[in-house]
Amino acid sequence: MGTLFVLLAVFGALKLNRKNFLLGIFLFSLLPIIGEYVAYTDVGEWGMLATMMAFLGIAIVTFPTKAQYGADNVAAIAIARKIGLAIIAVNAFQAYMILGVRDDVPSQYGYMHIVLAAAVIYVVIKSNSGKGFSWK
């Protein structure tokens, strides 16, 4: 399921389709929330709650809405970039945790976090280029 959500986000990033991009990130962010909740009920480590809260924040800010803004709305573009950087940081850290520290999570999820962070990096770079960047 996670692979499908990551592919949806990557497709949205490559096609500059805001709805698919955000929907893929939103749905993928639900997986760590569910997984960490199940693990927390078994183990009871507080770090799992912190992970849940980080991905809950990502799910909230990436929930697809019909809000439209263009390159002329400087404030919206600035906050979108900051949200993108937060998503990159959280997913990169989670990939590090899965691939380097934790052994109770399959490594494929770490690679999915890396791909998702790369998709967001692509969109941030594309939006910074300023050459006709607009969401569909």
The confidence score (pLDDT) of residue 64 equals: 86
Domain ranges of the chain: 2-129
1, two tokens: 């399921």
pLDDT digits (tens, 9 = 90+) for 37-53: 999 999 988 999 999 99
For residue 94, name the pLDDT band (cuts at 50, 70, 90).
very high
The answer to whether the CB of 84 falls within 8 A of the CB of 120 is yes
Other Cβ atoms less than 10 A from the Cβ of 59: the count is 17
The answer to whether the CB of 19 falls within 8 A of the CB of 45 is no
pTM score: 0.91
